[in-house]
Amino acid sequence: MPSTTIAQALAQAQAAGLARIDAQMLLLHVLDRPSHDRAWLLMHDGDAMDEGALARWHALCARRAGGEPVAYLTGRKEFFGLPLQVDARVLDPRPDTETLVEWALELLAPCPAPRVADLGTGSGAIALAIQQQRPDARVLAVDASAGALAVARANALRLGLPVQCVQGDWLAGLAGPFDAIVSNPPYIPAADPHLAALTHEPLSALASGADGLQDIRNIIAQAPATLAPGGWLLLEHGWDQAQAVQALLRAAGFDQVQSRMDLAGIARCSGGSMPVGLSPTVK
Ligand code: GLN
């Protein structure tokens, strides 16, 4: 059998429908090269692949073609510059979610030793990114899934970040007060055809009731009792949900309700602050 070179392997994967970047990431993984080393592939494009690497590569390409996220196949995903370990117990962290982290960091900048809760933490991406940028923060990472929390805990330990991971149902049982509550909850409507493309990720991290807003409603209902006066609730949501989430925040008595755009220019996060000087029970 003629040997296959790196350039041929990549061309075959793209001909089979894989995105170029996905094929490159998988090939680097198979060849035990760091994921940022795409230049290495170019410099070695005439190298022949050995049979073992080729077999592993074909298996990974087939799984990718079947819809598995690259992050699950390599076990890694970079988020906000942090190398996270991920697997099918957690949502594959999206770059869109960095918008939420940046917003939280801006709001927390004037606040010494802020207390932060990340609800539905999954891999721990948001909580760990905030903790890394703000070593003085006390960050709590909450998830209902024991499997997800195991992933978040392992990431915290490996990265040496003192995020506290607790199992729970959004804010139930948490005392606060928090200076910021942040969340990338499930927000896809249960009957949305988009879900069909995401079957490898946990449905509990993606879908939320008929209109996709069920978990967001629950969080907005619970947040005022645990936010400090002037504290912020920031929520990621779907591309067409900004108005609905803003309306829910206003109806719950939040001030300064506004949205932030992701890199694609989509209003991807909405948030508001707790009125200062009014206790949550009065509002
Ligand atoms: N942004 C993801 C998607 O639409 C969904 C993430 C979520 O539900 N929190 O693919």
DSSP-derived secondary structure for 231-256 = EEEEEE--TT-HHHHHHHHHHTT-EE
| CA 161 – ligand 1 centroid, Å | 26
Give the pLDDT mean for 121-147. 98
Give the pLDDT mean for 246-256. 98
Q: What pLDDT shows up at residue 237?
A: 98
Give the pLDDT mean for 231-238. 98
138 φ/ψ angles, rounded to the nearest 5 degrees: -105, 105
Give 176-221 pLDDT, tens digit per residue.
Answer: 899 999 999 999 999 999 999 899 999 999 999 999 999 999 999 9
Residue 206 CB less than 6 A away from ligand 1:
yes
pLDDT at 263 over 60: yes
| CA 206 – ligand 1 centroid, Å | 6
Contacts of residue 70, defined as CB under 8 A and 6 or more positions apart, other chains included, come to 22, 25, 26, 64
pLDDT at 2 over 70: no
H or E segment to which residue 8 belongs: helix 6-15
**CATH entry, 82-273, from 3.40.50.970, 3.60.110.10, 3.20.20.10, 3.40.50.150:** 3.40.50.150
Give the residue whose CA is nearest to atom 6 of ligand 1. Answer: 206
Q: What pLDDT shows up at residue 35?
A: 87
pLDDT at 278 over 90: no
Residues of the chain with CATH 3.40.50.150: 82-273
Question: If you average pLDDT over every residue of the chain, what do you get?
Answer: 95
Percent with pLDDT over 70 in the chain: 97
